[in-house]
Chain A
């Protein structure tokens, strides 16, 4: 479903990621685990077609991101680190706008909005102004936005950051419930999150993939925590 090969990104003289290669199969939930500044966001942005890569290839659903960006964008739902919401709009207005620009046909828009509002538990706040909502609700609006066109691939950049424990559990449950029908990549630096929702882990450190395995294999001998520390510490030294 997602194939990344030799992906490299330089910002002027700074190398954000270097030679990243991985594959994600249909229906998988994969965690992108790494310390802050490891290159998680950069990688995800390249996958969505928001940033171009310096080198390497990315294919989503068989379409090359650089050659057929529109085809890829149609099939991806993306929740950036900061939910891309307009603070002056009501939840329904915002979701309708997103449905329009994502190309949801007019007749299916209401249904799509109903569906995502239900899934993200937004029905109660559907008429509220987004700017007045709490961080947790904004995050859910961001998630609803990513799901509105029922994309095959969901890319979530730190979906639980800044939420309270109850909200974190809710969002995790939600993401878990999405597995199977959607292919999901999510980035995080929270270890429990990985054990709770993901089947596979990619550990990234200093712009390189240092581990790529299923959760079971990674935690067979050692806890995920020590694996993570081992892999990321090596790089620092």
Chain B
């Protein structure tokens, strides 16, 4: 029980620290500016096509156009790229700062388990991620309010679930990167490189033969997100993300413990 409370205490302090530092606001603003511009672009494109097909008197095509496929799915896709850039900035300080300021000595000489420490810090980054994604709910809201026919809610929610899982996987990599260095910039760069690698890892799959190709494709983070963005929930993707996160958390735990025997 004490352990569970420790997780919340650690997460609470971490969140507080996130929101008293300017990083949180810079990241939130940056994310909204970029995703807002993507949304604006997609909407304008949708409008242009709609006008064009109406002018050509093609009601059959106009009937097929929908906001889910033409605005929300690509928007979520674009947002994953922004997320890829932003998550390293949120997670870089989690352990690095403690090492640099020597507050790590307080945490590791307190009766708090390493598990609680890692989990607490991770949960704080998940809460921030949820807040970040929460702000972007304005875009589907606009579609519901002004779009006719309104988009399908179910597939939008599915897309957001996928986005959250993807972000959670990003954050777990960031947490690990932060645990191996006391330099925040190094942590951010390591996280960014690792994320980008996992993003593009599936690209040479086709040229690499059936077995290696399958493995690479399976490891590709974005490959597991695609179905979500289309409104499909498949348990194997959920399993992948959960396994990915657990593995990264396990590595983080080991890395935090390792400073004790190094």
Binding site for B on A (CB under 8 A): 48-52, 70, 73-74, 76, 78, 80, 82, 84-89, 93, 97-98, 100-103, 145
Contact = CB atoms under 8 A, between A and B. Distances in A.
Contacts of A100: 5-6, 9
Contacts of A101: 6, 9-10, 107, 110-112
Contacts of B103: 84-86
A178 B13 CA distance: 30
A97 B120 CA distance: 13
B20 interface: yes
Interface string B7-39: 001100100110011000000000000000000
Given A49-B108, A87-B101, A101-B112, 20 more contacts: A48-B109, A49-B109, A50-B108, A52-B260, A52-B261, A73-B109, A74-B111, A82-B102, A84-B102, A84-B104, A85-B103, A86-B13, A86-B101, A86-B103, A89-B16, A97-B9, A101-B6, A101-B10, A101-B107, A102-B111
Contact of A98 (B6, B21, B106, B261): B106
A154 to B, nearest CB: 12
B105 interface: yes
B13 A97 contact: yes
6 contacts: A50-B109, A52-B261, A70-B111, A78-B106, A85-B103, A89-B16
Contacts of A80: 102, 105-106
Q: Which of B5, B16, B106 has most chain A Cβ within 10 Å?
A: B106
Given A49-B109, A97-B13, A102-B111, A88 B21 contact: yes
A51 B20 contact: no
B59 to A, nearest CB: 60
Contacts of B104: 84
B2 interface: yes
Contacts of A73: 109-111
A86 B261 contact: no
A148 B6 CA distance: 17
A137 B69 CA distance: 60
A48 B101 CA distance: 19
A93 B13 CA distance: 9
Contacts of B107: 101
B110 to A, nearest CB: 5
A86 B109 contact: no
Contacts of A51: 260
Contacts of A50: 105, 108-109, 260
Interface string B104-124: 111111111100000000000
Contacts of B21: 88
Contacts of A85: 103
Contacts of B106: 78, 80, 84, 98, 145
